[in-house]
Structures are given as C-alpha cells and as structure tokens.
C-alpha cells in the first residue's frame, strides 16, 4: 500500500464530546475534518483554519474514504472525529483496512463501555460485546448469551433496547437482567434498570447502550454428552447419547459452522452442536408442533440460545435459511419428506463446498438410498455401524440392555 500523510483519528469523550488539547491541536492543523454531524458540531469554527473543509458522514463510507485517501496523498492533513475509542466497534477498523494501519495515528478517549461499567461499578474484564448496528439477525447476541454472564449490546434505531428485550423473551432467556444507559457523559444522562417486559412501547435516546447481566445459570449446563433423561422428549424419539456423540464427531462442527439439523426431534443434536458452533448458527428443523415445543423447552433448560427452531415440512421449510456447512439428518430420510430423494437432494444442493453431511440410518433401505445418492454424486463417504448397550436394573443387579443398531453415514461435498 502506497505511503500517504498519516490520517489522525481523534476519539471524543462520550456524551460531552469535549476537545482535549491533543484534539484541539490536531484540528487546528487540519485541512479536512471528517465525522458525523453531531461530532462536527462539537468542533468550533474558530478552531479551524480558514481553508479547512468539513465532510459529514451521512451515508456510505466508500466515497468518503476515497476523498480522504486523495487528500492524504496530496500531503493534506486529514482528521477524523470519532466517539470514544475509535478502535472499539468504531470507524478505526474500517479505516485501517482501507488506508492501512501504518497510515493511521489514533488518539482514543474513554469508550462508552468503559464509562458504562464505571457508572454501574461493574468489573468488565470478562464482559462480552455485541454490536447490532445494521444487523437483521441476532445470532451474535444469542451466542453471547450462551457464553457470557455480562454483555454490552450496542443498539441502533431498528435494534432498540425494546427489540433486544423482545429477542430474549422469545428465546426464554429471562435469566438476564437489563440496564439501559442513555446519553452517557451528557447532562441528560439516564441509567435505568428495567425488567425485560417493561421495555415494550418505551422510547429511548438514540445514544444508548444495553448491559445484560445473568442472574442465575441454566437448569442444565450446556455441554457434550448431556444424559438422555435430561431432555424432554416424546415416545423415546431421541438420538441416544452414544450415537449422538458419534454423529457429532463425524459432523466435525467448527466454531463458526452453520448447522442444519433436519428432523430434529427433541433437539438434542442441535443443542449439543451449538456448544461447538459457538460463533456460528444452528437450525433445528422439525415438522411436528409438539416436538418443536419440546425443542424450545430443552433450549430454555440448557441455555442453548443459539439454536433457531424452524417449524415446517421439509424441504419447503429450508427455503431462506443460511447455507450450511454441516447438515445432520436424523429423521425424515425414510418418510414422505424424502420421496424420490428430494430432501437429500435439497440438502446436498444447499451444502457449501467442502461441507459435511451426516445421516443416521436404522433401516437398510434408508442406508442404501443415501449411499447410492452419494455414490452418484461422486462424494467421498463412509459408514460406521454403531451398536451400544447400556446398564439396566434386573433382579437387584445390573445387566446390559442393547440399543438399536445405527448406521452413521458421513459424506463430504467436493
């Protein structure tokens, strides 16, 4: 990347936006000052040189960054005003990517989160951070709910504190308390601890931060190998622990995987997959309303908030879901959903290249159907037959009771 005159990024204190001596000195030398309208308004005219130009950020950053690049290449001093710490969910990251970090000089101020933690006297070294700015899904928030006890959420006009509360209530995550901090550092600063349901219909300042704090842990700790009887399930329709463990091992779920669990039953595979895909997404697809309700209850019990429950017939209910890189099929392969292998074909078509699919088969016809399908597509695949036995009481002692044998078929998409 070509060398340019370093761009100075000045962080202003949240709320007050007061100018430090460093900020005032940088602005006095500026040829181009860039920032949001509120930040530019905090910069007095008499501080700037007569020829200095102000450029407000009101839309796409791309043309603004190009203007900055051209000015810096001509040896002009560009100063960018930012809120708090420009490198903490701020403009600094984007400018570093576009202009090169070696071409930036950053002068940070207190971050909004640091100020919020001070107001609440909360140690924040283990706090998790989520930005919902411009997002249309809450997956990062749900992932944070699983792994963290203290979460700071950056909101926007669409993803307001009320919407954050609604998302938690819909997931059943009412074990978190909420505090909304508005206009931090300004004269009209307001801090409100709120029950999640209280936020319905409330108005909030556009400048707000939400802090969520866990009040009690889930009933069942989220982990691999949760005992079968901890799950609410119907008529023994559950992927048993030994088979579940083998299936997840063959699935090879990565931290950022997007997982489809098709024919999810009580959701045991989805829930334990979410423990592995801690930065990804997990979709439990189930057509039976009672079983879908059981999945939601099991999510509540385990705190597996990352799992999305999709109620509907397959393959139609798969339309619009994010493309997966891992697919588990535990049910539906031998039923109406897979007539003429339509479900298997849909799953394979949507699977990302180098993705992996695992199918659990009990019936030989299902095994032969899946095997023939992968052979026809030229996919690398393998089969493991699993026969597990578990202890059972008999005559005051223990015996081994055999579980149904299962064929664990895995395949990789080229």
Full 3-state SS string of the chain: CCCCCCEEEEEECCCCCCCCHHHHHHHHCCCEEEECHHHHHCCCHHHCCCCCEEEECCCCHHHHHHHHHHHHHCCCCEEEEEECCCCCCCHHHHHHHHHCHHHEEEECCCCHHHHHHHHHCCCCCCCEEEECCCCCCCHHHHHHHHHCCEEEEECCCCCCHHHHHHHHHHHCCCCEEEEEEECCCCCCCEEEEECHHHHCCCCCCCCEEEEEEECCCCCCCCCCCCCHHHCCCCCCCCCCHHHHHHHHHHHCCCCCCEEEEECCCCCHHHHHHHHHCCCCEEEEEECCHHHHHHHHHHHHHHCCCCEEEEECCCCHHHCCCCCCCEEEECCCCCCHHHHHHHHHHHHHHHCCCCCEEEEEECCHHHHHHHHHHHHHHCCEEEEEEECCEEEEEECCEEEEEECCCEEEEEEECC
Same-domain status, 257 and 405: yes
Q: Residues with Cβ < 8 Å from 224, sequence gap 6 or more?
A: 245, 248, 272, 275, 276
Residues 265, 291 contacting (CB under 8 angstroms): yes
Integer Cα distance of 209 and 265 in angstroms? 38
Same-domain status, 278 and 358: yes
State the number of CA atoms in the 13 A half-sphere of 316 facing the CB. 5
User: Which one of 94, 110, 126 terminates a domain?
Assistant: 110
Burial class (CB in 10 A: 0-12, 13-18, 19+), 351: buried
Q: Look at residue 363 and tell me if it is in a domain.
A: yes
* Domain ranges, residue 173: 113-214
Same-domain status, 253 and 397: yes
Integer Cα distance of 336 and 170 in angstroms? 31
The enclosing domain of 132 has a CATH number of 3.30.950.10
Burial class (CB in 10 A: 0-12, 13-18, 19+), 248: buried
Same-domain status, 83 and 35: yes
Beta strand 397-402 with 389-394 is antiparallel
User: Which one of 52, 80, 110 terminates a domain?
Assistant: 110
Q: Residues with Cβ < 8 Å from 214, sequence gap 6 or more?
A: 148, 149, 150, 175, 176
The enclosing domain of 258 has a CATH number of 3.40.50.150
Q: Look at residue 2 and tell me if it is in a domain.
A: no
pLDDT in tens, 8-65: 999 999 998 999 898 999 999 999 999 999 999 999 988 999 899 999 999 899 999 9
Same-domain status, 334 and 359: yes
Q: Look at residue 223 and tell me if it is in a domain.
A: no
Same-domain status, 118 and 191: yes
Q: Look at residue 220 and tell me if it is in a domain.
A: no
Q: Look at residue 299 and tell me if it is in a domain.
A: yes
Integer Cα distance of 412 and 414 in angstroms? 6
Q: Look at residue 219 and tell me if it is in a domain.
A: no
pLDDT at site 340: 62
300-302-303-309 Cα dihedral, nearest 10 degrees: -60
Q: Look at residue 305 and tell me if it is in a domain.
A: yes
pLDDT at site 59: 85
Integer Cα distance of 117 and 285 in angstroms? 39
pTM of the model: 0.87
Same-domain status, 263 and 174: no
Same-domain status, 242 and 170: no
User: Which one of 54, 76, 110 terminates a domain?
Assistant: 110
Q: Look at residue 387 and tell me if it is in a domain.
A: yes
Same-domain status, 304 and 194: no
Residues 41, 211 contacting (CB under 8 angstroms): no
pLDDT at site 337: 62
Same-domain status, 124 and 99: no
pLDDT at site 93: 95
pLDDT at site 2: 62
Domain tally, the chain: 3
**pLDDT tens, residue order, the chain (414 aa):** 567 899 999 999 999 899 989 899 999 999 999 999 999 999 998 899 989 999 999 989 999 999 999 999 999 999 999 999 999 999 999 999 999 999 999 999 999 999 999 999 999 999 999 999 888 889 999 999 999 999 999 999 999 999 999 999 999 999 999 999 999 999 999 999 999 999 998 999 999 999 999 999 999 999 999 999 999 998 888 999 999 999 999 999 999 999 999 999 999 999 999 999 999 999 999 999 999 999 999 999 999 999 999 999 999 999 999 999 999 998 667 666 666 688 999 999 999 999 999 999 988 888 999 999 999 999 999 999 998 888 888 888 999 988 888 999 999 999
Same-domain status, 103 and 26: yes
Same-domain status, 207 and 246: no
């Amino acid at each position: 990347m070509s060398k340019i005159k370093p761009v100075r990024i000045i962080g202003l204190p949240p709320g007050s936006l007061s100018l430090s001596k460093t900020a005032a000195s940088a602005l006095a030398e500026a040829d181009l000052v860039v920032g949001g309208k509120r930040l530019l308004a905090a910069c007095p005219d008499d501080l700037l040189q007569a020829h200095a130009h102000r450029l407000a950020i009101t839309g796409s950053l791309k043309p603004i960054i190009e203007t900055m690049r051209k000015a810096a290449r001509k040896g002009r001093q560009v100063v960018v005003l930012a809120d708090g710490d420009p490198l903490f969910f701020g403009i600094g990251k984007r400018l570093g990517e576009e202009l090169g970090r070696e071409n930036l000089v950053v002068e940070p101020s207190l971050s909004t989160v640091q100020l919020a933690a001070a107001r609440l006297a909360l140690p924040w070294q283990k706090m998790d951070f989520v930005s919902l700015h411009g997002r249309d899904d809450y997956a990062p928030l749900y992932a944070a709910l699983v792994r963290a006890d203290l979460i700071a959420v950056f909101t926007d006009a669409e993803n307001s504190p009320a919407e954050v509360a609604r998302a938690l209530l819909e997931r059943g995550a009412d074990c978190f308390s909420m505090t909304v901090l508005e206009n931090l550092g300004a004269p009209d600063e307001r801090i409100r601890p709120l029950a999640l349901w209280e936020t319905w219909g409330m108005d909030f300042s556009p400048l707000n931060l939400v802090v969520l704090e866990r009040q009690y842990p889930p009933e069942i700790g989220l982990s691999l190998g949760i005992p079968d009887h901890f799950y609410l399930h119907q008529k023994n329709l559950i992927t048993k622990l030994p088979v579940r463990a083998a299936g997840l091992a063959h699935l090879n779920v990565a931290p950022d995987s997007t997982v489809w669990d098709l024919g999810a039953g009580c959701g045991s595979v989805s829930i334990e997959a979410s423990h592995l895909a801690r930065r990804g997404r997990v979709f439990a697809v189930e057509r039976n309303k009672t079983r879908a309700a059981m999945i939601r209850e099991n999510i509540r019990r385990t705190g597996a908030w990352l799992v999305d429950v999709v109620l509907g017939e397959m393959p139609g209910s798969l339309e619009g879901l994010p493309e997966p890189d891992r697919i588990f099929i535990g049910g539906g392969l031998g039923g109406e959903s897979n007539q003429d292998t339509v479900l298997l074909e849909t799953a394979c078509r949507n699977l990302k290249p180098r993705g992996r699919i695992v199918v659990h088969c009990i019936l030989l016809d299902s095994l032969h159907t899946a095997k023939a399908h992968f052979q026809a597509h030229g996919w690398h695949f393998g089969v493991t037959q699993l026969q597990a036995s578990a202890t059972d009481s008999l005559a005051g002692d223990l015996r081994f009771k055999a579980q149904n044998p299962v064929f664990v078929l895995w395949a990789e998409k080229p």
